[in-house]
Structure 1
Amino acid sequence: MRQYLKTLVMILPFSAVYLTACNQQASKTTETMTDSTTLAALPADSAFKKTIDGKEVKLYVLKNKNGVQAAITNYGGRIVSLLLPDKNGRMTDVIVGPESVEGFEKSTEPYYGATIGRYGNRLAKGKFTIEGKEYTSSLNNGPNTLHGGSKGFHYVMWDGKQIDPATLELSYLSKDMEEGYPGNLNVKVTYQLTDDNAVKVSYEATTDKTTVVNLTNHAFYNLNGSGSGDILNHTLQIDADNYIPVDNTLIPTGEIAKVTGTPFDFTKPTTIGKRIGVDNEQLKAGKGYDHNYVLNQHDDKKPIATVTGDLSGITMQIYTVEPGLQFYSGNFMEGKNIIKYGKPDVFRTSFALETQHFPDSPNQPKFPSTLLKPGQVYKTHTVYKFSVK
């Protein structure tokens, strides 16, 4: 008996050490699992509790039968998060941007996830003429107007109505001469999360005076997950044989140029970073890709662009009825803003693909018209469909 007790006394300390090590390892495993799970979490609803312009900010959550979730706020009509499974089944948030309303308000990048209007993209010197009368919008991008002006749709409060668990309707009245645009414009934007893991964005607008309209969404994507690094190894394909060259203020020159033999040729799957650093005047003008592509077809029957994250295998296909696609490669990101999960928005940590009419169309007679007249209904839509490779 004494020998048994002696042996037990010798064994117990080693057992305690072993159990402590096991507990520590289990703790580490739990931490790792928690860290992974964090990437699958939607922003807290409490982070969007605020009143702006006399209206309550809200965060709406859309869900489909596959467990995919999208979070959208009525502040700027912004897509805040989109949680999708990667090739290993791990839920990944592919939308880059802040995780609170204060983050959006303070960000030096004003367009994260936003609905863009009244006129998406640039207007040269902020000027345009309708029926012989010249109008001027505010200059917020050097000598030009960008994405509607200083207080475009990205900074306004939308009225939200959740139609069902997968559908959100946002509406806004842009009053006559708001940001210099004529006409009272009634706008409706509908977000629908479908059961085949697609986000459909539908736009509708009417006016009581002839005006210009070019609506789009400016979500910033990283298909490897928000905060996971740069997007240079993402593979991109765009169904466009032509693009629109720009001057040094990123206003179209009026030319429509072939992509063949240039760094702008994405007619075959190519990594975003493959040619982004070559000596090219157009790339210097935009500090990378910040150009509109003239789509070969836009009847929403087949994808006009396909992007795949190199690490996640998540693939996004874009379908649209719009004639153009603005490709932006995150050239002006400088790490000045904190995005989700405490990460900085470092250089080229995301990309944007904005379906739209062409930039500066009101001043470019050869480009498709963006005029909307009383009695007409502006209607367009784009579908972003996700899968894994």
Structure 2
Amino acid sequence: MKKISLSVAVLLISTFAAHVFAVAKPFISKSAYGEIDGQKIYQYTLTNSNGMVMKVINYGATITDIITPDRANKMGSVVLGFDSLKQYQGRNNALLGAVVGRVANRIANKKFILDGKEYLLPSNIHGGPKGFDKQVWAIEELPGSTEVALRLTYLSPDGESGFPGNLNVTMIYTLTNNNEVKLKYAATTDKPTPVVLTNHTYFNLTGTTGKVANTELTIQADKYLEADKNVMPSGHILDVKGSPFDFTVKKLIGKDIEASQGYDLTFALRNTSGKLALAATTYDPASGRQLQVYTTEPGVVVYTGNHFSERIIGRGGPFTKWGALCFETMHFPDSPNQPTFPNVILRPGEKFNSETVYKFSVRK
């Protein structure tokens, strides 16, 4: 048998190690996704060292896919999405994966008063028909050795959708080697304006578009916002104890979903420090997938796709009523009209900052 010199052996080992490291290093790829009014839309694919994948398009700063392993290490998509830009632009797109603003969720009577002046809006929900989810964002790749990220920016001009001030918004999506998806929001303005930003990703840990009734959920909240049939807050904050909305201990989502006709509710989280803290944990016993949601925000809107039906065909097949779970981490809905709610008015010289983390893992 021919002997290998020490120097050659070291070289071979170094080459092999470098090859392994190169394979394990997270990376970003980019592909054309379409065009809107002459603006190019691209889909960016972020892959970490474990093979977990997140996909994002610069239309609506939209998360189009998140692919994670189950307990058998089989990869599967855990968010609802579409196959084409046309579908994301279509009327059946219920903000799937998009950034929502300038003010997410609801504003009563399509108006608010700020510093003595009344502002009228085209809609009472999700920033209006031309909200941030309908805009083309500038996008920049942020490569790294332990995580990869995208920086998306958008200038919302003074008067857009009825809101005052030029609002500069920055959104950073990060995929870490700890199987975390981090969302960091920042904004500045040149006039006082309300700002409530969130992301509207629909999760289904089963890896399908079927009902999430057998998925477990725990929420770090003892109270929720009372709301009318149109999900408009009354201003009262009630105890979850004794209601169908008590998720202080783990409970199957389907247990009380009929009584509440599906969930579309704002939970007032225990954490009001403004620092990152656990907000919710959801677990699918069939696949073993677990998702923990951390946020700096005081509230989370939990929505279960109450208006989905099989006429909507997504990437994994027909959608299903109660076939997904949204965690809209944010300040409370209708805050500009509710003086007792946490402040959402951003003023010149101030900076809006918010962070949410989706941490994925598997229980064996």
TM-score (norm 1): 0.83
CA-CA distance at 1:64 after TM superposition: 1.1
CA-CA distance at 1:301 after TM superposition: 5.1
The structure richer in strand per residue is 2
Q: How does 1:96-107 map to 2 (within 5 A)?
A: 96-107=80-91
> Quick one: distance in 1 between partners of 2:236 and 2:297?
19
CA-CA distance at 1:300 after TM superposition: 4.9
- Is the 1:68–1:197 contact (alpha carbons within 8 Å) kept by the matching residues of 2? yes
Query: What amino acid does structure 1 have at the position aligned with 2:151?
Result: E
- Structure 1 match to 2:57: 73
RMSD of aligned residue pairs (Cα, Å)? 1.6
Q: What 5-or-longer segments of structure 2 have no aligned partner?
A: 1-28
> Quick one: distance in 1 between partners of 2:277 and 2:235?
28
> Quick one: distance in 1 between partners of 2:91 and 2:71?
32
> Quick one: distance in 2 between partners of 1:322 and 1:335?
33
> Quick one: distance in 2 between partners of 1:301 and 1:154?
25
Q: How does 1:1-389 map to 2 (within 5 A)?
A: 45=31, 48=33, 50-139=34-123, 145-164=124-143, 166-227=148-209, 229-278=210-259, 283=260, 287-298=261-272, 299-300=274-275, 302-341=277-316, 343-389=317-363
CA-CA distance at 1:313 after TM superposition: 1.1
Q: How many residues align?
A: 332
Query: What amino acid does structure 1 have at the position aligned with 2:166?
Result: N
- Is the 2:107–2:125 contact (alpha carbons within 8 Å) kept by the matching residues of 1? yes
> Quick one: distance in 1 between partners of 2:149 and 2:332?
29
> Quick one: distance in 1 between partners of 2:356 and 2:254?
26
- Is the 1:110–1:154 contact (alpha carbons within 8 Å) kept by the matching residues of 2? no
Question: SS of the counterpart of 2:286?
Answer: coil
> Quick one: distance in 1 between partners of 2:267 and 2:169?
26
- Is the 2:140–2:152 contact (alpha carbons within 8 Å) kept by the matching residues of 1? yes
Question: SS of the counterpart of 2:119?
Answer: strand
CA-CA distance at 1:107 after TM superposition: 4.2
CA-CA distance at 1:45 after TM superposition: 4.0
CA-CA distance at 1:109 after TM superposition: 3.0
TM-score (norm 2): 0.88
> Quick one: distance in 2 between partners of 1:107 and 1:312?
32
> Quick one: distance in 2 between partners of 1:315 and 1:265?
20
> Quick one: distance in 2 between partners of 1:53 and 1:119?
25
Residues 145-201 of structure 1: per-residue CA shift (max 9 Å, x gap): 111011111110000101116100000000001000000000000000011000000
Identity %: 41
Residues 93-142 of structure 1: per-residue CA shift (max 9 Å, x gap): 10102121111112423300000100011001111111000111112xxx
Residues 272-316 of structure 1: per-residue CA shift (max 9 Å, x gap): 0101112xxxx3xxx321010000015555421000123211100
> Quick one: distance in 2 between partners of 1:226 and 1:199?
20
* Stretches (4+) displaced over 6 A: none
